[in-house]
Amino acid sequence: PLFLALFMLEILRLAIFKQPRFGTKNTTVLFTDAVIFTILMSLTGWPEIAVRCQGATLGLSRQPFVEAAQVIGLRRSAILWRHILPNLRDILLPEAAAALAGALLLLAELGFFQIFIGGGTEDLNGSKYLVPLYSEWGSMVALSLRQRNIGYWILLEPLLAFTISIVAFNLLAEGLRRRNR
């Protein structure tokens, strides 16, 4: 939806032009930034998953085992927990694995743009770059990108970790999808 895209652009604009944080590491700042990142990632991907789950739920509600549960007098919540949600697991698990791969890819992309989840502080040596306060893979990509003239292998290590993780989650999602067919 257009609203979510505009909302994400505004949040990214605020994240890019936000003043750097000075001082020591603050765990509440990291927690708040991680929660905001998680909420934003959740807001962007849920409509597709909701449509798939709605279609599957409508299909499952017409199945004989659900009708039999209604006939014997089970409440709707019991039918949902005992019959519908276990069958939706085949849809939700591959979606979760693919969403994890997408979140890791977004972290790598944000690292290239010097946007860190835990925030950053200015380098005291007078450089124009932010120094991340916390170690995370996106900040490792950003730091190694700055030092690539020393040796290209410095950049290869975090990118290799990202690549292996993203490919692993995508293969897991594809394997779960194929198993469910």
Q: Domain spans of the chain? A: 2-180
Stronger pLDDT, 141 or 114, i.e. the higher one: 141
Helix (H) / strand (E) element for 37: namely: helix 27-61
**Cα–Cα dist 14/17, whole Å:** 5
Examine the pLDDT at 171 and tell me if it is beyond 70.
yes
**pLDDT for the residue numbered 103:** 82
Local structure of residue 125 (DSSP, 8 states): T
CA distances from 21 to 86, 133, 145 (A): 45, 9, 22
123-158 confidence digits (pLDDT tens): 556 666 666 666 677 777 877 877 777 877 778 888
pLDDT in tens, 97-107: 888 888 888 88
Q: Angle between the 153-180 and 137-146 helix axes, to the nearest 10 degrees?
A: 150
Tell me if 129 sits within 8 A of 123, measured CB to CB: yes
Instruction: Give burial (CB, 10 Å; 0-12/13-18/19+) of 56.
Output: middle
Query: For the whole model, what pTM was predicted?
Result: 0.66
SS3 sequence, 60-103? Answer: HHCCHHHHHHHHCCCCHHHHHHHHHHHHHHHHHHHHHHHHHHHH
SS3 122: strand
Task: Kindly indicate the confidence band of residue 68, based on its pLDDT and cuts at 50, 70 and 90.
Answer: very high
Average pLDDT score, the chain: 76
